[in-house]
Amino acid sequence: MQSPADISAALFSLGNSPRAQQQQKNNKKQTTEDVLKFYQAAANLTTSPTLKIRAQLNQLSLLIETKQLAQVQALLPEIKAQLPKLPPNQTAVHARINLAQSLMKLPTPEMKEAAEQLSQAVGLAKRIGDQRAEAYVLGNLAALYEQTGQLSNAKELTNQALVLAQTI
């Protein structure tokens, strides 16, 4: 008999496989619906906060790509509530980056919220001593500033990210 954790991990993988194929072939609405169902089931079944947030973030990204904005707005509060429950590690840093990237892709980008998520990710990366993740976050924050027309801040953050990355 399989555990809910094993079933959830399998569902997460089942969601990722057709999604990758869909991106390559750019095919069928049915595949998108199936992938969303796999991610939803994975998030619902797992007891792992890490797998739950990964499934929800993948679901959010796909919902944004397919312009299912009502579902995006329903899922966002749930994701935001899950982030503080993650242990302070690289996965938590990347979850905040992933959320920020998704927020920046919305038809009406939520730049303030994206900046807050990236700011928290920088602090977390510093706290856990992960310079690679810190450089990655700074690069994403630079992209956000560039997207909002704050070019001098974007350039400064890009330089900081480069300097940090070169010391690794």
* pLDDT > 70 in the chain, percent: 82
Burial 104-137 (b: 16+ CB within 10 A, else e): bebeeebbebbbebbebbbebbeeeebeebbbbb
> 55-101, pLDDT tens digit by residue?
999 999 999 999 999 999 999 999 999 999 999 999 999 999 999 99
CB 11 within 8 A of CB 42: yes
At 1, the pLDDT band (50, 70, 90 cuts) reads very low
What pLDDT is stored for residue 106 in this prediction? 93
Where are the chain's structural domains? 1-86, 111-168
DSSP 66: T
The predicted model gives 97-114 an average pLDDT of 94
Dist. CA 32–CA 29, nearest whole Å: 5
**Between 74 and 5, whose confidence is greater?**
74
pTM to 2 decimal places: 0.83
| Torsion on CA atoms 72, 54, 114, 108, rounded to nearest 10 | -20
What pLDDT is stored for residue 152 in this prediction? 96
